[in-house]
Structure 1
């Protein structure tokens, strides 16, 4: 985790003895009282102290006099800023708390106040702890004296405070802050801050005339100041403008939730809409900030503070969107343009949520912005807030949003799956709007092949989000295809990896390909071969509806064999069982009889058709086993509906060696639910067919030959096979002699040489005891039917496994009585 040198220092800080620590505290106290000549030693000592107090998860208690000196240092206006930074960091990590001491003597200096506030905010436990700091900041904002300069860090600190405790501000205080924010947003200076010039060698320094702010393309800024205005230096009100914009979204979400406050302001708003309606009709072609501002500037001053702030924020965001169309001269300014677009559209969305009249003013601008950005995927992250805007307001404005969501759900995951920030924001966009997307966006549920690409590429960081998102992707018409897609998720990860490598390495540059390793090179070759093109096109398909799965899935697994050890593919395989549990828990709540039958067929088919990754098949089959029981318990007629497939599956001994756990559960559900009490279609012929299939398997795996190898299965499988045979025989009494004959051979099998070596003594006794009890039960067919086939109306259909019930005692009693008068076991 740490470099060796760093780890050694942290270890020393954690293990320092108390006596040495007290001496160190004393040296620091002396240094803090000394002159500035030892400033280097003071900094070194404070850095060491910060390491000591932050190296452990428990706060260290510092001497009161040292705490007091650090607090004094923090308040000082003359000490170097580095001292204040270190003092603040130490006080945040140590005891006793400095919260109440600092809150009573807050500094008027902007820099000192910011460091004191960081300590107060880190140690505050409730609203009352923050109240003194909040009141101190509000005094600056409430002051009407022009000579009172608002500290630059007031707004960031205030933003932290109301994020921690939104109810800390009263309604009057909210109005005061809203009024100030509106002024800073709209009326900041459009000239650069004053800069000093030396004036040459023989002349005294002179102050240059303030130059105008410029746009990102170098043109002179023609309208009011925004964060996209560029200059060499900034005035205080310009800094407040930038701080205001940075906290605007959080402020509106916290305090602008009441809509219009009275009928008069509502009438003013309607007037504004009428005034701007003619402009909106042609705004896609010639809209500008100036036209909107001129229509609203006179009426906005009559609005209450909250609504006035809303109006100014809307104008500000509109101007930022206009500025983002300029060609930036610097790369950093281009990135800033994208960030401002994201924030601006999000703020406009919040404003429109609170006041629907803004929707008609905003939509032409947003629509034009989408048309400009949509061809360029470099603006993908900026298009997500636009999609959010369409999702929230397209119905109000009667605007078709299908094209927007089609691009978002098809192009973004398909082409930008390797962008981690976009993946995170995209998935959270889906989570935030999941109910609306399900209801209004048709393509959402059909886009899961694309959405799973984000998970396949970024699986560790997105697993918790997809656990929450997966149920919303389930629909009856695509449930089977989604199940296949989840099972093929490691294949998708491998295919995406190959697609990414193939785009990075030219086909002719064979030397670069060979550096990937022989196995990966073989998979890269397969990815570019036309014969495999259809397979890769299917696994990389953008939306559902082209088929549940493909016939040549095993061929795809062979083509991807070189990727089975890829870390991305292995991590992806590890999350599949988790998603499968979520899938089955959800689908069983909505599935009808037809879908349940399809699910059972998929379990039987895919139990042997999985990507060959270490432990992947075992984990998936364990999930299949659990939910096979759930499906059959939910709808027992599944056994009869799919008897051909189930019979073929349980009659094949190869199923035991490759998927024993799933095979064991399949046999158990047949023995449990193949009964006329669950389905009147269950005939004697059907019971006999399953009996003969299980009988043949049990007979084959229990044959003991001199050259036979030890059994490759567990004793649990034998006991389940024996119990299933007994259950079926109890329902068709003509089969009882055959079942008893086969069960009677279990003793000799369990005591044979190869079996005795492989199984423990406890396992052997369990097999013999189970065979013994089942034979005794079958001697009394009516009792066997009662014991092995409990009533479907009971609270628990598995009484014979309930140790708290009296039935196991009855079974042992019957077994004991019969044992005294029988000699059915071979000598």
Structure 2
């Protein structure tokens, strides 16, 4: 019986290999079933002769699937079944599956990623062989992660759980930084796919690109300049201020970068274009599509997994390179309020986890940190980033006691921010956000001076000026400055309260169940009236049971 079944399956496979793959109809699953059955029989029998007999027909059929000019979903499904055979028996027939895997992505999946059956089968196949990819083909998934994000962006919620399981395999040194940007732009990718569908009619079998090739226009402009001496500005250089670049062109460039199928390195910084958010809002319309809602919900989940894996497995050099990108994208993301708030909170948690793991990052990244702290606070995202960085500077002593020069430069930045706000307060009325910023700044100044005692004289001057400005500042600000001045008279007590974590003379509050916590200045020092100007609580550090 098995020999008869073997002969029938082999006959079907030979017929499929002998005809054009476009003839494989979607409803005709006989070829795929034959491939899967032959693979199962080869595994159960453990007979290398059987594998050797079926291998030539498998190879020929796979080549036909990949070279077909008319791709159908059934073609991709048959190719996946053959790939499984190659992975299961490649050692027996000495077949390197790497070229075959890349051929599948470039020839089949690139045309059929929008088909639900192909998308589900691809994610299932990759999950089933995840360990083989990690051990033997570790560069394949990081190279094709843009195409896989297109699969999940256009798919439904049933793919979320299996894709989350697969997602860490997409992370590698070549894709680490690019993947962060792609995750933030997942909702924008949905807009790009919807725009492409509107322009072409369907995404099935579509390899189109929104971007128009600028070469002919650029060549005509150069010829005109050469012969007439005049220069024609095509309006396509976004780096020139006042070039009059149309916002739709900028959005199309962003869409085109997101629609790439392979990892080609870091894309252009399209989000530096000032009108990008307004352009995306116009493209989104008044009603969000179901696919866009799904992307807005799923993207933060992927980002959390990305950060968890990064903190556990990624080298310090890559983490250090990632943080400036996080700073920039805090205020440059898809214009949905709930999505922005959730992503910003996730990014801030990751940022603090990085600084806690490697405090020296603060000294190494002093330039982007000082730029972020001292930049004009034109949005809530930039303001919150400045507050969080001020807290990190003080909590980790500007990188530690060994980074004196970096600590001095960071202190000077905080000093400048403090004096600028004091000067502006004399001209304008009190603003709650400004009071909150001043609380963080003076706390960071006091903590820096506690860690680096050579900064203490300058810190006392700063705090004294704030304490004397009680007619201009909120009571909580100048009273905090006054209390810090009192603490700094006794260095031992000041070091215990303001010294941060793991420094000489610092009490480890987290181990003292009945004592206080690390961020005492935010709670005590006679400041219990009203809501605090911070997001930290006792339960965050010592747990609900102890706090109660």
TM-score range with shorter-chain normalisation?
0.7 to 0.9
CA 1:445/1:421 → structure 2, altered by over 3 Å: closer, same or farther? same
1:4-153 matches, cutoff 5 A: none
- Asked if 1:652 is matched to 2:362, the reply is no
- Asked if 1:418 is matched to 2:132, the reply is no
Question: Is the CA contact (8 Å cut-off) linking 2:497 and 2:518 kept in structure 1?
Answer: no
- Asked if 1:446 is matched to 2:131, the reply is no
2:76 matched residue in structure 1 = 380
Work out which of the residue numbers 641, 644, 651 in structure 1 matches 2:364.
641
Deviations for 1:258-289, whole angstroms, at most 9, x for unmatched residues?
xxxxxxxxxxxxxxxxxxxxxxxxxxxxxxxx
1:614-763 matches, cutoff 5 A: 614-654=337-377, 657-675=380-398, 678=400, 680=402, 682-683=403-404, 685-701=405-421, 708=428, 711=431, 713=433, 717-730=437-450, 731=452, 732-745=455-468, 747-749=470-472, 751=474
| C-alpha separation in 1, matches of 2:329 and 2:33 | 46
| Bigger relative CO (Cα 8 Å, ≥ 6 apart) | 2
| C-alpha separation in 2, matches of 1:324 and 1:477 | 38
2:259 matched residue in structure 1 = 540
Question: Is the CA contact (8 Å cut-off) linking 1:788 and 1:800 kept in structure 2?
Answer: no
| C-alpha separation in 2, matches of 1:743 and 1:356 | 83
- Asked if 1:550 is matched to 2:265, the reply is no
Question: Is the CA contact (8 Å cut-off) linking 1:491 and 1:557 kept in structure 2?
Answer: no
Work out which of the residue numbers 462, 479, 484 in structure 2 matches 1:774.
484
- 3-state DSSP of counterpart to 2:172: coil
| C-alpha separation in 2, matches of 1:674 and 1:350 | 61
Question: Is the CA contact (8 Å cut-off) linking 2:467 and 2:478 kept in structure 1?
Answer: no
Structure 1 residue 479 displacement after superposition: 0.7
CA 1:563/1:420 → structure 2, altered by over 3 Å: closer, same or farther? farther
Deviations for 1:370-404, whole angstroms, at most 9, x for unmatched residues?
23333142111221111111122223112343442
Structure 1 residue 472 displacement after superposition: 0.8
| C-alpha separation in 2, matches of 1:380 and 1:795 | 65
TM-score w.r.t. the length of structure 1 is: 0.51
- 3-state DSSP of counterpart to 2:267: coil
| C-alpha separation in 2, matches of 1:733 and 1:531 | 49
- Asked if 1:496 is matched to 2:496, the reply is no
| C-alpha separation in 2, matches of 1:664 and 1:530 | 35
Question: Is the CA contact (8 Å cut-off) linking 1:618 and 1:659 kept in structure 2?
Answer: no
Structure 1 residue 422 displacement after superposition: 1.1
| C-alpha separation in 1, matches of 2:511 and 2:330 | 28
Structure 1 residue 744 displacement after superposition: 1.1
1:363 matched residue in structure 2 = 55
- Asked if 1:482 is matched to 2:179, the reply is yes
Deviations for 1:161-185, whole angstroms, at most 9, x for unmatched residues?
xxxxxxxxxxxxxxxxxxxxx3xxx
- 3-state DSSP of counterpart to 1:399: coil
Work out which of the residue numbers 564, 568, 576 in structure 1 matches 2:284.
564
- 3-state DSSP of counterpart to 1:343: helix
TM-score w.r.t. the length of structure 2 is: 0.75
2:238 matched residue in structure 1 = none
Q: CA RMSD in A?
A: 3.7
Q: Report the number of matched residues.
A: 466
2:509 matched residue in structure 1 = 799
CA 1:689/1:529 → structure 2, altered by over 3 Å: closer, same or farther? closer
CA 1:536/1:438 → structure 2, altered by over 3 Å: closer, same or farther? same
- 3-state DSSP of counterpart to 2:93: coil
Question: Is the CA contact (8 Å cut-off) linking 1:498 and 1:527 kept in structure 2?
Answer: no
Higher mean alpha-carbon deviation, 579-588 vs 730-739, is at 730-739
Gaps of at least 5 residues in structure 1 are 1-181, 183-308, 506-525, 752-763, 817-827
| C-alpha separation in 2, matches of 1:674 and 1:695 | 15
| C-alpha separation in 1, matches of 2:158 and 2:144 | 21
- 3-state DSSP of counterpart to 1:396: helix
Question: Is the CA contact (8 Å cut-off) linking 1:704 and 1:749 kept in structure 2?
Answer: no
Gaps of at least 5 residues in structure 2 are 203-244, 527-548
CA 1:587/1:679 → structure 2, altered by over 3 Å: closer, same or farther? farther
| C-alpha separation in 2, matches of 1:744 and 1:665 | 23
Question: Is the CA contact (8 Å cut-off) linking 1:636 and 1:679 kept in structure 2?
Answer: no
Deviations for 1:606-627, whole angstroms, at most 9, x for unmatched residues?
2222232333332221111001
Structure 1 residue 473 displacement after superposition: 1.0
| C-alpha separation in 2, matches of 1:791 and 1:432 | 44
Structure 1 residue 471 displacement after superposition: 0.8
| C-alpha separation in 1, matches of 2:488 and 2:501 | 18
Deviations for 1:84-130, whole angstroms, at most 9, x for unmatched residues?
xxxxxxxxxxxxxxxxxxxxxxxxxxxxxxxxxxxxxxxxxxxxxxx
- 3-state DSSP of counterpart to 1:571: helix
| C-alpha separation in 2, matches of 1:809 and 1:404 | 56
CA 1:740/1:482 → structure 2, altered by over 3 Å: closer, same or farther? same
1:407 matched residue in structure 2 = 103
